[in-house]
Amino acid sequence: MITSDLNLDEFFKVSQCGFAKEMWDILEGTHEGTQNVKRAEKHALIQEYEIFRMMKGETILDVQKRFTHIVNHIISLAKIFEREELNIKIFKCFDRTWQPKVTTISESKNLTTLTTTSLFGKLREHKLEMNRLNDQENKEKHVKGIALKAAGQKGDQDSSDYSDSETFNLLTRKFDKFSKKNNREKSQPSNRYNSKNVNEFNSTNYTYFGCGIQEHIKVECPSNVSKEKGGYKKFEKKGKSRRAYIAWQNNDDSSSSSSSKGR
């Protein structure tokens, strides 16, 4: 019965044995090792079990596979675990981010009756829910970022439009002010012909260079006035003094005598 289930290589290992017990011991030692090998392997597995932790980037399913593989090998080496011990070991292998869920399960469930399969199932369910919430938050942040960017661009455009409008209004006000000032200057007479300046003009402050007499200008000079009777009245109507009239007469008489001598 033993040799019928062995391949050729295994058969050659036990073909020289005379008893079935001898064959079994050889096969057991080849595949399971001696007692010393079993003991060394058992200690190595226990140490790996004690330092078991969830690795970075590892999923719950990966953690379950590694943990189950270690525990089964230790159990095959005659090590017995209680359910509560295994569940507590699973809780300790997770980092701080899993502590809320771990605390909830440990307080709501009986660890002495809870199997490791059920425990890993609840952890996987929690992880899927967290992934769903994270995806939803990322989408909301993305939409909010697009909205803020669009609002910022709109605000910049509104600010630019407002600045352009203010510049246009300023130019309009300046142009209106300039137009009103220009129209007002055109409607008023020049200072040269202002009535105030005309009223303030007084010919008595000037001296005509032709006759050398003060208090008149060229158009009012006695030499240009007719010598007909009542000539002084014309002077008097214009507000000229008698002295100016006498000077004019003397000048006229001297001119007449000079012309007689010439004849």
Q: Domain locations in the chain?
A: 3-131, 203-262
Above pLDDT 90, what percent of the chain?
15
The radius of gyration of the chain from alpha carbons, rounded to an integer in Å, stands at 65
Lowest model confidence (mean pLDDT) among 32-41, 44-53, 91-100: 32-41
Mean pLDDT of the chain: 75
Q: Per-residue pLDDT for 173 more than 60? A: yes
The mean pLDDT of 195-211, rounded to a whole number, is 57
Structure tokens at 218: 């060229």
Whole-number Cα distances in Å, 260 to 142, 222, 228, 257, 263:
122, 21, 20, 5, 5
The mean pLDDT of 112-119, rounded to a whole number, is 90
Q: Per-residue pLDDT for 248 more than 60? A: no
Q: Per-residue pLDDT for 63 more than 90? A: yes
Rounded distance, CA 189 to CA 182, Å? 13
Q: Is residue 244 within 8 Å of residue 222, measured between CB atoms? A: yes
Rounded distance, CA 122 to CA 87, Å? 12
Name the range with the highest mean pLDDT among 38-42, 90-94, 226-230.
Answer: 90-94
Rounded distance, CA 100 to CA 202, Å? 110
Cβ of 139: how many Cβ atoms within 10 Å? 10
3-state secondary structure 17-56: CCCHHHHHHHHHHHHCCCHHHHHHHHHHHHHHHHCCCCCC
Of 60, 83, 59, the closest CA to residue 71 belongs to 83
The mean pLDDT of 211-237, rounded to a whole number, is 56
Rounded distance, CA 138 to CA 21, Å? 67
The mean pLDDT of 169-177, rounded to a whole number, is 79
The mean pLDDT of 102-131, rounded to a whole number, is 89
pLDDT digits (tens, 9 = 90+) for 131-140: 888 888 888 8
The mean pLDDT of 141-156, rounded to a whole number, is 69
Lowest model confidence (mean pLDDT) among 29-38, 82-91, 149-158, 245-254: 245-254
pLDDT at 66: 93
pLDDT at 204: 62
